[in-house]
Amino acid sequence: MKRSLANRSVAIAMVLLSALLASNSAALAQRNNNAANKELPMGELMKLPGKLLSEAKTAKQSGELKLTGYRVEELQLPRNINAEVRGQQVVINRAWRVTITGGPFPVRAMPAAIWIDDQIVGYGIENETLSQITAITLDNSLLREGGVIALSYGENKDARVQLPQRIQWKREGENQ
Amino acid sequence: MKRTSKTYSFIVAITLFVSVAVQTAFGQVPDPGAPGPLAVTREEYDFGDTAFTPGDFPGPVELRASIHHPTDLSGGPFPVIVFLHGRHATCFKGGGSALLQWPCTANNSQPIPSYQGYDYVAEVLASHGYVVVSISANGINAVDNLVFDLGAEARAELIQKHLDTLKTFNTTGGAPFGTKFVGKFDLTRVGTMGHSRGGEGVVRHQGLNIQLGSPYGIKAVFPLAPVDFNRFVVNNAALNVLLPYCDGDVSDLQGVHFYDDARYNVPGDQSPKHYELVMGANHNFYNTVWSPSSPFPGSANDWLAFVPGGKTDPQCGKGKGNQRLTEAQQRGTGLAYMTAFFRAYVGGETQFLPILTGDAPPPASAQTNNLFVSYHAPDNPALRLDVNRLLNNTNLTVNKVGGAVTQTALTPYELCGGDDPQALRCLPDQPDARQPHTTPSIRSSLRGLSQLNTGWNNLTGNYKNEIPSTLANVSGFQALQFRVAVNFADARNLAGLAQNFCVVLTDNSGSTASIRVSDVSSALFFPPGSVGPVPKVVLNTVRIPLSAFGGVNLHNIRSVDFTFNEQAQGGVLVTDISFASAPL
């Protein structure tokens, strides 16, 4: 009864898996049976201070969703957790938070998905004023220099709205 | 575009013709959406913005709801219908800005009353002797993307909490109503309707109520334009899914999985299953608060707002000849089918069943005939004989009744969309949003609907299911039925033109009777639209009354044939071939 992954690229499947893992504590608990993981709910990850890795802003709005910029941050988790990343059980102590700015974003039934190139980083969470959508991933291999960031609702790849700015890592010594 | 529009008008005309014919056959079915004789009172209860926190949920939720009830309560206890809205902005400030927070703490912000958006249905149901409770769920909407199931469990728990509250009103009484409702609610007869994420919520709730020992009698579940992220299933309660063809939010119509997944899931399931595909309908207009005529921020025509390039679509967009429904028309479809469903399966008003099986046309309150009704009969040998479920490759040669299955001049002749090793999608080069029966679910790896993908290149194409002599007496059933869609991606189907073929019954003396599908159904329409999620294949039920097959002995049927001799070529998707009757 399980959906075969054969017709999807392994890469996409792994990305989705990591997206599931990153979605909340319940997901982590499902995968790991590790009670300690329940102490890292998604809401907490959203609030953790992050180290800014890349950021871009523009006054010019992109597409119907009026995207204006993005931010990629590295999060130091309060402690190590067990997780499955790209099919491997690993112990991790970092996560990555990708935020797209613009909007105001509609509040829809279908969740927003944040993409880098052709891979979903995670399903997004709106902020209260609907000016930001944020996803969290445990897999930093998705985040690559020059990657194109985009937003869709559901997995509708054809309806993605792309940001004009590509990911460019801040160099050591740049202002954060 | 013009040809498509003309063709579509023709299809609508045919539908009207067939509807009139069927209506004549079934007599005049009353309109379930017409206002009833009882005066109605609307009240609310409100225990505060933070009165409830579902288990493992990251925020508080309000306990607030409206109650529509007969003003004269002396006729109680009344059956109870519960409504749950879906995901939408939660708060608004003057100047037109919507917010997503709970409670509404921003300066001068106020809650958006999404729960009031179905009052137009509640008023009618209450006027016929139902108590209708519509729940506010802004607290869930504010943070449901933070939890893995995207709020389904929390919504289910919220419904149960409100049912517990109603139980208190019904037994000891309680503020703010005192003893007014004591003995007035029949909580053994409950129906639930959920819109959008609320649709998955009512499905999950049916399961939760069972897990809790079935304290309430959930008789009927109506997901309206629902999401199906988790692939929960409703069994042993009547199910009706409404699918808006021009849904711009849940644009892949993933809610059709609720019907597909439930069909053969529980042997002996005595509950009927239905869905309506409403052409020209979008996601939001079913809720007045979410519609453009609403004074509240966050409202939109979702097709135009969310589908890139959507306004140019000839079916769902704004071009001349489009088939978009107005707000009033769309709510008419919701009113008609919600009232028919709940009055039939919660209230026992069986006169409305022909509307739900498709044997009678949409009632006047629906305000359109441009919709398609599908029906799956209860798993009861008196009501359904499955000829071919088309679930696995065995069914390409042997059917459910053990008869031989053969084909002539059909290509392809294969199953798709179901479990491995079937192809994941039936239209491999089309987006998921255009093939709802196989669209993936965010939180489930279950596959989709197994369908026969077939077609013909000349007038000799034939598909035969033989019936063993032990099951040859089908005279006790009302109809022969199956689900079918024209495969718009098959180039043998001409864009904009309806398909056609014949269904032939043969008895054991060799007598045959043939019915053209187009004479009884318009389900073989070419799926309209050209932008984004449309066209899309949704299989619709063709239900042919057995009385139409004159000259054959229905007590001794030998075979059912689909004979593709009406159009020189074509391609269709087929499933669920059965003899079936309406629920008792």
Question: What is the predicted ipTM?
Answer: 0.91
Q: What is the pLDDT of residue B584?
A: 78
Is A69 domain-assigned? yes
Distance (Å) from the alpha carbon of A27 to chain B's nearest alpha carbon: 6
Mean pLDDT of A68-77: 97
d(CA B109, CA B96): 11
The answer to whether the CB atoms of B298 and A106 lie below 8 A apart is yes
Q: What is the pLDDT of residue B107?
A: 84
DSSP string, B174-207: BTTTBTTTTTTEEEEEEEEEEETHHHHHHHHHHH
The shortest CB-CB distance from B308 to any of A1, A155, A159 is to A159
Count of CB contacts below 8 A, A vs B? 116
Q: Which residues, numbered 293 to 322 in chain B, qualify as contacts with chain A under a Cβ-Cβ cut-off of 8 Å?
A: 298, 300, 302, 305-308
The answer to whether the CB atoms of A23 and B148 lie below 8 A apart is yes
The answer to whether the CB atoms of A2 and B433 lie below 8 A apart is no
Q: What is the dihedral of CA A58, A60, A66, A69, to 10 degrees?
A: -10
Q: What is the pLDDT of residue B94?
A: 82
* Structural domain for A32, as ranges: 2-166
Is A174 domain-assigned? no
Distance (Å) from the alpha carbon of A106 to chain B's nearest alpha carbon: 7
- CB burial string B451-471: b at 16+ within 10 A, e below: bbbbbbeeeebbbbbbbeeeb
Chain A residues with CB within 8 Å of chain B CB: 1-4, 6-7, 20, 23-27, 30, 41-43, 46, 64, 104, 106-111, 123-130, 153-159
B99 shares contact with chain A (CB less than 8 Å): yes
Q: What is the pLDDT of residue A173?
A: 65
More confident residue, B337 or A83: B337
Mean pLDDT of B574-581: 98
d(CA A162, CA B251): 20
Residue B493 pLDDT greater than 60, yes or no? yes
Is A175 domain-assigned? no
The shortest CB-CB distance from B306 to any of A3, A106, A125 is to A106
More confident residue, B405 or A25: B405
Q: Which residues, numbered 451 to 510 in chain B, qualify as contacts with chain A under a Cβ-Cβ cut-off of 8 Å?
A: none
Distance (Å) from the alpha carbon of B190 to chain A's nearest alpha carbon: 25
Q: What is the pLDDT of residue A155?
A: 84
Residue A176 pLDDT greater than 80, yes or no? no
Of A28-37, B416-425, B426-435, minimum mean pLDDT range: A28-37
Cβ pair B244, B252 in contact under 8 A: no
List chain A residues with CB under 8 Å of B431: 156-158
pTM to 2 decimal places: 0.92
Is A72 domain-assigned? yes
The shortest CB-CB distance from A43 to any of B146, B249, B424 is to B146
Q: What is the pLDDT of residue A175?
A: 53
Q: What is the pLDDT of residue B82?
A: 99
Helices A25-32, A10-23: axis angle to 10 degrees equals 110
d(CA B500, CA B17): 16
List chain A residues with CB under 8 Å of B148: 20, 23-24, 26-27, 30
- CB burial string B241-263: b at 16+ within 10 A, e below: bbbbbbbbbbbbbbbbbbbbbbb
Residue B472 pLDDT greater than 50, yes or no? yes
B242 band by pLDDT with thresholds 50, 70 and 90: very high
What mean pLDDT value characterizes chain B? 95
Distance (Å) from the alpha carbon of B195 to chain A's nearest alpha carbon: 10
Residue A17 pLDDT greater than 50, yes or no? no
Among residues B356, B343, B366, which one has the least CA distance to residue B281? B366
List chain B residues with CB under 8 Å of A129: 97, 99-100
Mean pLDDT of B186-205: 98
Q: DSSP class of residue A147?
A: P
Q: Closest-CA residue in chain B for A160?
A: B308
The answer to whether the CB atoms of A41 and B433 lie below 8 A apart is no
Tokens of A145: 């220099």
Q: Phi/psi of residue B562, each to 5°?
A: -105, 115
Q: Closest-CA residue in chain B for A120?
A: B442
Residue B9 pLDDT greater than 50, yes or no? no
Mean pLDDT of B138-154: 97
The answer to whether the CB atoms of B58 and A7 lie below 8 A apart is no
Residue A7 pLDDT greater than 70, yes or no? no
Cβ pair B396, B413 in contact under 8 A: yes
B100 shares contact with chain A (CB less than 8 Å): yes
pLDDT digits over B32-48, tens only? 999 999 999 999 999 99
d(CA A121, CA A140): 9
Tokens of A48: 């953790």
Distance (Å) from the alpha carbon of A109 to chain B's nearest alpha carbon: 5
pLDDT digits over B304-346, tens only? 999 999 999 999 999 889 999 999 999 999 999 999 999 999 9
The shortest CB-CB distance from B148 to any of A26, A104, A107 is to A26
d(CA A117, CA A167): 10
Mean pLDDT of B79-90: 98
Distance (Å) from the alpha carbon of A152 to chain B's nearest alpha carbon: 10
Q: Phi/psi of residue A163, each to 5°?
A: -85, 140
A83 band by pLDDT with thresholds 50, 70 and 90: confident
The answer to whether the CB atoms of B98 and A130 lie below 8 A apart is yes
Residue B17 pLDDT greater than 60, yes or no? no
The residue with tokens 């002396």 is: B74
Is A82 domain-assigned? yes
Residue A92's CB is within 10 A of a number of other CB atoms, namely: 15
pLDDT digits over B89-122, tens only? 999 998 789 999 999 998 889 999 999 999 999 9
Is A172 domain-assigned? no
Q: What is the pLDDT of residue B27?
A: 63
The shortest CB-CB distance from A109 to any of B90, B148, B250 is to B250
- HSE of B31 in the Cβ direction (CA atoms, 13 Å)? 15
Domain count, chain A: 1
Q: Which residues, numbered 337 to 376 in chain B, qualify as contacts with chain A under a Cβ-Cβ cut-off of 8 Å?
A: none
Distance (Å) from the alpha carbon of B480 to chain A's nearest alpha carbon: 29
> Counting Cβ atoms within 10 Å, is residue A19 exposed (0-12), middle (13-18) or buried (19+)?
buried
Q: Closest-CA residue in chain A for B447?
A: A3
Q: What is the pLDDT of residue B95?
A: 75
Q: Phi/psi of residue B222, each to 5°?
A: -125, 90
The answer to whether the CB atoms of A1 and B252 lie below 8 A apart is no
Is A176 domain-assigned? no
Is A118 domain-assigned? yes
Distance (Å) from the alpha carbon of A85 to chain B's nearest alpha carbon: 17
The answer to whether the CB atoms of B100 and A20 lie below 8 A apart is no
d(CA B194, CA B183): 26
Q: Closest-CA residue in chain A for B254?
A: A110
Residue B5 pLDDT greater than 50, yes or no? no
